[in-house]
Amino acid sequence: MVGPQRGQRPGQRDGQRSGPSSLRGRPRRSTRAARARGPVRRRGHGGSPDQPDRFRRPVSGSLHRPPSAAGHPPGVRLDVVALDFRIAGLAPETVDYLDAWELQRRVHADVVGGADDTVLLLEHPPVFTAGKRTDPHERPADPGGAAVIDVDRGGKITFHGPGQLVGYPIVRLPDHVKVVDYVRRIEEALIGICASFGVTTARVPGRSGVWLRADERGPERKIAAIGLRVSRGVTMHGFSLNCDVDLGWYARFVPCGIADAGVTSLSAELGRDVTVPEVLPVVREQLARYLAWEDYTATPDYEARPEPPRIRLVTPSA
């Protein structure tokens, strides 16, 4: 992984700050405006910053305490706790990656301090983010004007941009939930989201994220990526789901370090425009289900691809 250059602070981007202005015709707010205005909550998708969406999920073990009965309307169970979903900004009000990273840190500190588990949902302007395992040759030789930012999550390099829903679950892991199980739960939620739109996906052994099986349309292709970090028992970073993102960006680099597979989106698979707002309700539902930490039946993995045939080498006799 290429570290910060001389004079750069950690997380400082390479290259220019913004992506092509013509991308999908979607305007982006300036970083200065973003910092002045703070995270954006669009009406109908999360309310005001002081009134985020709340999904309620069953209590599991001693992780959370049931809320008080006071102030709860009739019919609301008292053995559930809040999972806050916050819409930080959707296109055209995309959120600068470094601004979102700082927001994650603040929310992470709040959750560590006892606040409700929180999921940030947003879209970024075009940006490449390089995880700790990124090799130099996997970076874009020509990022097309988009920033390239080194981040503190696991995994390799990926792309974010308008038309891609990014989710940052910032949640406290119960003692019985290991990091690998948390990743599987996020994958299972993404598989369920795709299934609700009629797109069959699964895991591929040895590869992170959520995939479509190779078929007559092409090789295995990734529709959702996952990269995360756990600090003080609370998660950061998360997932990205391609809804109607411009897939041309993925030709500029080696996505997630995997050179022998493709990338796709819900729109590309269904032959119609599937927007981020259309997907949001299902995302909330599926994440609330799998982050309740209850037992679940995992979707079977796609079978591992067979090894290529071995050629027997014969040494010529003298």
Return per-residue pLDDT of the chain as tens, 318 residues: 444 444 444 444 444 444 333 333 344 443 333 333 343 333 333 333 333 455 445 433 333 333 333 333 344 333 345 799 999 999 999 999 999 999 999 999 999 999 999 999 999 999 999 988 888 888 888 999 999 999 888 788 889 999 999 999 999 999 999 999 999 999 999 999 999 999 999 999 888 899 999 998 888 999 999 999 999 999 999 999 999 999 999 988 877 656 667 899 999 999 999 999 999 999 999 999 999 999 999 999 987 555 444 455 555 554
pLDDT at residue 259, rounded to an integer: 65
- Cα dihedral 243, 245, 247, 252 sign: negative
Residue corresponding to tokens 């990022």: 143
Residue corresponding to tokens 């990734």: 222
Give the annotated binding-site residues for substrate: 153-160, 225-227, 238-240
pLDDT at residue 77, rounded to an integer: 36
How far is residue 240's CA from residue 145's CA, in Å, rounded to a whole number? Answer: 21
> Which one is catalytic: 122, 256, 258, 291?
256
Global pTM?
A: 0.72
pLDDT at residue 314, rounded to an integer: 53
Question: Could you tell me if 119 and 169 are in contact, meaning their C-beta atoms sit under 8 angstroms apart?
Answer: yes
pLDDT at residue 43, rounded to an integer: 33
CATH homologous superfamily of 13-66+75-290: Bira Bifunctional Protein; Domain 2 (3.30.930.10)
Question: Could you tell me if 234 and 173 are in contact, meaning their C-beta atoms sit under 8 angstroms apart?
Answer: yes
pLDDT at residue 10, rounded to an integer: 43
pLDDT at residue 59, rounded to an integer: 39
pLDDT at residue 223, rounded to an integer: 98
Annotation marks residue 256 as catalytic: yes
pLDDT at residue 71, rounded to an integer: 38
